[in-house]
Chain A
Amino acid sequence: AQKVTQAQTEISVVEKEDVTLDCVYETRDTTYYLFWYKQPPSGELVFLIRRNSFDEQNEISGRYSWNFQKSTSSFNFTITASQVVDSAVYFCALSGDRSNDYKLSFGAGTTVTVRA
């Protein structure tokens, strides 16, 4: 069984502060994929990043960065110099490979509020 835990329910920061979202996962699969999705107040789900289990390189995309550590089963997400537009619910998710039909297991989500 796969499980994703996002222990932080809500985070509130002032604009320009950095914010880190924690994600811890459990799986018995050797091959798996980790994701982050953003859900702004408008409600749609926006794909941010995918990482496969064989690629532990950290990634940076603009103000977003991701830290994948297999040793601690974590895939954390940092927003640097936060902006009001970053206010959203962020979901971490995990899927297996084709043998598992790529089904996603989601964490409960972390609500980020960035105050001006």
Chain B
Amino acid sequence: DAGITQSPRHKVTETGTPVTLRCHQTENHRYMYWYRQDPGHGLRLIHYSYGVKDTDKGEVSDGYSVSRSKTEDFLLTLESATSSQTSVYFCAINRGGKETQYFGPGTRLLVL
């Protein structure tokens, strides 16, 4: 979707290093979300934001932190990456009456 970008799209890192993923939206939506996708689990919510500087935890928040200093950017940080955080990470925003989430292209993260 042209309105949501994620960077980087692919990243390989080593255990113990910090990693920051960025989600950028151009449509001024209030709600933004970070999910991770793993085989057998579908997508699981990590953290989400309901406004600038307003964030909350999701189902699998341990080992992750987020920040949202402006409407368009939502950052996900792995303070000290572990192999269990190898996954595909998707950012999402609400659009169209706020009930429907639309997803960015995803970031593939490999932690060695």
Contacts and interface: CB of A to CB of B under 8 A. Distances in A.
Interface of A: 4, 6, 33, 35, 37, 43-45, 47, 50, 52, 91, 93, 95, 97-98, 101-109
Contact of A103 (B45, B88, B90, B98): B45
B48 interface: yes
B101 A101 contact: no
A102 B101 contact: yes
B42 to A, nearest CB: 4
Interface of B: 31, 33, 35, 40-45, 48, 50, 56, 58, 88, 90, 92, 94, 98-103, 105-106
Contacts of A35: 100-101
B33 A106 contact: no
Given A35-B100, A95-B99, 7 more contacts: A43-B88, A45-B90, A98-B98, A102-B98, A103-B45, A106-B35, A108-B40
Contacts of B50: 101
A109 B40 CA distance: 8
Given A44-B105, A106-B42, A101 B90 contact: no
A91 B37 CA distance: 11
A107 B35 CA distance: 13
22 contacts: A4-B42, A6-B42, A33-B100, A35-B101, A45-B43, A45-B106, A50-B99, A50-B100, A91-B43, A93-B42, A93-B43, A97-B99, A102-B31, A103-B33, A103-B48, A103-B58, A104-B45, A104-B101, A105-B45, A106-B43, A106-B44, A109-B42
A3 B93 CA distance: 21
A43 B106 CA distance: 8
Given A45-B90, A50-B99, A102-B98, A108 B41 contact: yes
A44 B103 contact: yes
**Which of B40, B92, B101 has most chain A Cβ within 10 Å?**
B101
Closest 3 CB pairs of A and B: A106-B42, A45-B103, A106-B43
